Amino acid sequence: MNRQTPPLVSGAVPGAGHAIEFYRDRPGLIRRGFAEHGSVFAIKLASQNVAVVVGPENQKQFFMETDKSLNIQEPYRFLKAMFGETLFLADHEEYVRQRPFVQEMFKREKMLYYVDVMQEVIQTWLDALGDSGEMELTGEITHLVQEVAGNCFLGKEAHQEIGREFWEQYKYLSQALDPLLPPDLPHPKFIRRDRAKTRMLEILQPIIARRRQNPAAYDDFLQDIIMKEDRAGNLIEEETALNMLIGFMFAGHETTAGQAAWTIILLLQNPAYLERVQAEIAQVAPYPVHIDPKRMIQLHHIEWAVREVERLRPSADMLMRTVQEEVQFGDYVIPEGWLVQVTQGIGHKLPAYFERPEQFDPLRYAPGREEDKQDRFLLFGFGGGAHKCTGMNFANNEMTLITALLFREFDLELMTPDPHVVQGMGANHPSETIVRYRRKQAAATAVLPEMALAGA
């Protein structure tokens, strides 16, 4: 057996290794590593060794070895200061205990309810836009997605009660995401994070207490999660319920907002494909019909556009594990204590699988091509294996609805021609993007070209 560790990418400086470049230009560093060494290579973040692994075989091993030789809690421990011992941040036994609460949240009948709530919230937003104007898309969609999450997970009444103050605290949590510094350092950003978390708990606590005192008066998602019992018949602890709620809404809103905004931007930058989308909306869900799940699954061109955004502009592009038992990736051995990382910046653009990989081409998922079907671990914008994103369907439905409802009511023009990716430690998003909009005549409909229906 080859005992060599992966080759180190050029440019490491004594002491810091690649840490400075990692903060400044993560994708550039990873691209260089791949160009220099191929599908398994190493970077150094100060004293921490990190193996970067690329390609469907390695990606499969990364996801399938999680909770075995690879550990998911350790590399995300910096999140524990925000969300405590919840979800994948908890040890495996506790994770398994909490899983039924999470599954409850995304049951089929819940999803049907969420789709209705999403539509109502998005429609309220569209109605408030007026007939024409300009908006900063990234901020606008972030606000919209927060409204959707709040209304779906907390219910209308509780969401109104928490108000904007609750959501404003999330920016202090995001600013404190830092995989390198110890999370309990008395650094101003960590002090702001702790204050924000305390304030969020203060806002949510009275709502939960009231609901637990009077359980028969409520029947919604929030009630389910705070009244659900685990297998041993115990109610979830209040602290865990609060942390799960805050964690869910964190995991779900910035990520979804980023990809939803990119879907709109990339469609506006690709007018020929947008025409197909417009024609499909006119055929399947013309204004003002309600888009029920039966109609939604016929919006193939939007579904493919949303998937293409997952491939090209993934919000969560830094998935990490800690090696707890030595593993072999390709020709190299990765010792205990190293980190392993998969990265869509390279993994989603392999020319062996994707035709003209840099191009926005949603028809690559259409019947006849289906490039993503070549391997289950080729696309991993939502992760893979046992820890694959619980909110994936929720997010995809939401992005589909935002796109369909917005484009069927408004003509849009991109005033910022070339937005770029702002790389976050939690989630990526587009830079400030101004979009001009004008309401269409309500009755206006397009004719669906035959070829669009056939997905040709």
Q: How many residues bind ligand HEM (CB under 6 A)?
A: 21
C-alpha atoms less than 13 angstroms from C-alpha of 369 in its C-beta half-sphere = 14
Rounded least distance, CB 4 to ligand HEM, Å: 27
Between 22 and 262, whose beta carbon lies closer to ligand HEM?
A: 262
Rounded least distance, CB 130 to ligand HEM, Å: 28
Rounded least distance, CB 101 to ligand HEM, Å: 10
Whole-angstrom CA distances from 177 to 148, 167, 201, 242, 383 are 24, 17, 19, 20, 19
C-alpha to C-alpha distance for 365 and 300, rounded to whole angstroms: 10
222 binds ligand HEM (CB under 6 A): no
Quick check: 311 and 348 in contact, CB under 8 A?
Answer: yes
C-alpha to C-alpha distance for 215 and 61, rounded to whole angstroms: 45
C-alpha to C-alpha distance for 72 and 62, rounded to whole angstroms: 10
Quick check: 86 and 240 in contact, CB under 8 A?
Answer: yes
Rounded least distance, CB 76 to ligand HEM, Å: 7
C-alpha to C-alpha distance for 125 and 144, rounded to whole angstroms: 7
Rounded least distance, CB 135 to ligand HEM, Å: 21
- Beta strand spans in 46-165 (E): 48-53, 70-71, 132-136
Quick check: 266 and 308 in contact, CB under 8 A?
Answer: yes
Between 27 and 449, whose beta carbon lies closer to ligand HEM?
A: 27
Q: Determine the distance from the C-alpha atom of residue 366 to the mean position of all C-alpha atoms in its chain, rounded to a whole number.
A: 23
Rounded least distance, CB 316 to ligand HEM, Å: 4
340 binds ligand HEM (CB under 6 A): no
Rounded least distance, CB 334 to ligand HEM, Å: 17
Between 104 and 413, whose beta carbon lies closer to ligand HEM?
A: 104
119 binds ligand HEM (CB under 6 A): no
233: CB partners within 8 A, 6+ apart: none
167 binds ligand HEM (CB under 6 A): no
Residues 223-262 that bind ligand HEM (CB under 6 A): 248, 251-252, 255-256, 259
192 binds ligand HEM (CB under 6 A): no
Q: CA angle 341-37-350, nearest 5°? A: 65
Residues 392-411 that bind ligand HEM (CB under 6 A): 394-395
Stretch that binds ligand HEM, among 13-21, 215-223, 326-334, 390-398 (CB under 6 A): 390-398
What is the three-class DSSP state of 55? coil
Residue nearest ligand HEM by beta-carbon distance: 391
Q: Which of 157, 158, 245 is nearest to 201 (CA)?
A: 245
Residues 37-96 that bind ligand HEM (CB under 6 A): 87-88
Rounded least distance, CB 403 to ligand HEM, Å: 13
Residues 279-338 that bind ligand HEM (CB under 6 A): 314-316, 319
Residues 370-389 that bind ligand HEM (CB under 6 A): 381-383, 387, 389
- List of residues contacting ligand HEM (CB under 6 A): 87-88, 248, 251-252, 255-256, 259, 314-316, 319, 381-383, 387, 389-391, 394-395
